[in-house]
Chain A
Amino acid sequence: MSSDRRDFVLTAGKLLVLTAPAAAYLEAVETGKAEEPAYKMAEHYWGMIVDVDKCIGCGNCVRACKTENDVPVEPYFFRTWVERYHVAEGAEHPDVDSPDGGYSGFPEKYAAGDGAKSFFVPKLCNQCAHSPCTQVCPVGATFESPDGAVLVDKSYCLGCRYCVQACPYGCRFIDPRTKTVDKCNLCYHRITKGLTTACCESCPTGARQLVDLKDPKDPVHDFLRDHKIQVLKPQLATGAKVYYNGLDGSVR
């Protein structure tokens, strides 16, 4: 529907049902009062760098995320999790595990010096710029915000689970308490207040770093220039904005 017609219908509807003060209030909401004065969406574009070579699999990010965002601890759901890869030389498939998403760290499972290559890979929502999940949402309850975070509108989500199916990375789940979809929102409540995400804050090695791609002073630009960067499942052209350094070809 063209925006003119929309506006007309909206206005007509308002005149029909609303008294003047209420209409004035809504006017204010619609014209962007939602934006906090200190934070300008247009000046930011968020993403993340994950440096695989630095991840020690301590699980701090997983725990911090659950604490910060009230992610259910008991059922098996994660906004971020860590995988352990174990790739024997010449093996076609890697052995992967993620006990409890890495929540309690990774008890040693492989013998040291078994000749295989082994490493940790933190995963989270890739905040795709062409996200397959927001594309399929039937009602607009999940969307890419102007500053580059993929967000969920919990008060509008139907719980149809189509977006969960559409995410190639397994980053979405249905929160059993609200029966709506949940996923990493890049700690939107933190990054819009000038803080970094809970996972980055508690990462001891700097394996994860929040980046603002629109900020010319952000060290991300040097990092992206100086390293060979990869995103997950590039063949799906999701426009993922979580950039991995040192990502092995076996990582799915």
Chain B
Amino acid sequence: MEEGLLHAVQGFMYPNEVELQWSILIVLYPFTTGLVAGAFILASLERVFNVQAVKPTYRLALLSALAFLLVAPLPLQLHLGHPERSLEMYLTPHTSSAMAMFGFIYLWYLMGVLVLEIWLDYRKDMVLLARSETGWKKTLYRVLTLGVDNISEESLRIDDKLGRFITIVGIPSAFLLHGYVGFIFGSVKANPWWSTPVMPIVFLFSAIVSGIALVLLMYMLVCFLKGISIDMPCVDTIARYLMYAFLIDFSLEMLDLIHRIYEADESFKSLDFMAHTQLYTSQIIVQIIFGTIVPISMLAFIQVVKLSEAARKGIYVLAGLLTLMGIFAMRWNVVIGGQLFSKSFLGYTTYKMAFATKEGLLPAILLMILPFGILWVLVKVLPPFEEEKAAV
């Protein structure tokens, strides 16, 4: 095994650096939390700023956020050398560790924000379902409503007010959630590829971008599966937001890049070399060209040229997929890229992904399918669309 690892090394690496520490699973982690934060922020737009156009996606966005949030800690858990000890993060959190604080932010965000907001928003539906359903389903909804059957005007008004409050608290929480993931990397002073104060902000905006793209795609997919017609003003608006968020994200990343190139400190030669070799495909081609410039151009094109509905839908699907790919590549380039060079700046290695091992591609793929399974269940239990509610 070491033989193989050593062969991958060019130049000099400190001996212990030859093994890569963080695998593709750790790439999934910022990717999924990013989707969560982004989807939530999109949902909050409707609620706080009253953007009626995106209303049809409000509930779907919340459910998607929940589905991905439930999966987000799994890759971390799987990656640990001692998963059975992970509770220690909550028992004896080290306050100076970004990772320990993340545990609490995660719990807060899951329980204090997302679950509560969904619960409040769905309470009326759940009560109605508890009344109309029978058998185990009735019991399920009963439990979900905590046994309270009250949907009086006043109670719903209170729910709405509280829900609004939670959303307002939720926006900074979502910022915190993903900004913090950026901080986990951005605060590692030993690693110049990571260590930059803009890392949390770049992570945040790329999170928003990926979350919006996810909701856009999910909405179109669910409509397609259910045979509901797509609300065009809604997707047009979402696509516009996607473009704005993307522009900010891209500017920030370019700012960081230009800054690095201009300052050209001791680590620059090493990082520059990497971007031209090991990371060339994933960074320049996949992330920047096909994952950023192309989708931004497509979305910008729609703003200036009037296209048919069908063409717009096609472009949205394509742009959405490219965006997700680009953001995934960005996470990859941060997490994996940050480990391909030696902290001596004198050598490089490559990452060889395993397939059916604990940290291989297979579990990564399964972990990316899992949230869709969860979402499928959530949509069954908590139907997100008005049309269906009428049918109940």
> Which residues of A come within 8 Å of B, CB atoms?
74-78, 81, 83, 93-98, 101, 123, 132, 135-141, 156-162, 164-174, 178-180, 236, 252
Contact = CB atoms under 8 A, between A and B. Distances in A.
B100 A156 contact: no
A208 B341 CA distance: 29
Contact of B15 (A74, A101, A138, A165): A101
A154 to B, nearest CB: 10
A74 B6 CA distance: 13
A233 to B, nearest CB: 9
B92 interface: yes
A158 B88 contact: yes
Residue among A123, A158, A164 with the most chain B CB within 10 A?
Answer: A158
Contacts of B96: 135-136
Contacts of B92: 139-140
Residue among A81, A95, A165 with the most chain B CB within 10 A?
Answer: A165
A123 B190 CA distance: 17
A236 B195 CA distance: 12
Contacts of A96: 12, 344, 346
Contact-size category for B? 35 or more
Interface stretch (B78-86, B143-151, B313-321): B78-86
A230 to B, nearest CB: 16
Nearest to B88: A139
B19 A173 contact: yes
B346 A158 contact: no
A130 to B, nearest CB: 11
Contacts of B18: 76
A75 B1 contact: yes
A139 B343 contact: no
Contacts of B93: 138-139
Contacts of B21: 161, 164-165, 174
A138 B190 contact: no
Contacts of A252: 343-346
28 contacts: A76-B2, A76-B6, A76-B15, A76-B19, A77-B19, A96-B344, A98-B14, A101-B15, A123-B14, A135-B97, A136-B97, A136-B98, A136-B99, A156-B85, A157-B81, A157-B82, A160-B81, A160-B99, A162-B97, A162-B99, A165-B188, A165-B190, A165-B191, A165-B338, A170-B342, A170-B344, A173-B19, A178-B81
A130 B46 CA distance: 46
B284 interface: no
Interface in B1-50: 1-2, 5-6, 12-19, 21-22
A241 to B, nearest CB: 17
B221 interface: no
Contacts of A170: 13-17, 342-344
A74 B2 contact: yes
B14 A169 contact: yes
Interface of B: 1-2, 5-6, 12-19, 21-22, 76, 79-82, 85-86, 88-89, 91-94, 96-100, 103, 184, 187-191, 338-339, 342-346
A174 B346 contact: no
Contacts of B100: 138-139
A166 B188 contact: yes
B2 A75 contact: yes
Contacts of B14: 81, 98, 123, 169-171
Nearest to A235: B266
A134 B324 CA distance: 35
A167 B343 CA distance: 9
A242 to B, nearest CB: 15
B98 A158 contact: no
A246 B189 CA distance: 26
Given A94-B346, A165-B22, A159 B80 contact: yes
A158 B15 contact: no
A9 B349 CA distance: 49
A156 B2 contact: no
B86 A158 contact: yes
A173 B6 CA distance: 15
Nearest to A162: B99
A165 B191 CA distance: 8
Chain A to chain B: the 4 pairs with minimum beta-carbon distance, closest first: A159-B81, A170-B14, A179-B81, A168-B190
B12 A172 contact: no
A160 to B, nearest CB: 6
A162 B190 CA distance: 11
Contacts of B184: 162
Given A158-B82, A173-B16, A166 B190 contact: yes
Nearest to A237: B189
Residue among A74, A161, A174, A180 with the most chain B CB within 10 A?
Answer: A161
B75 to A, nearest CB: 12
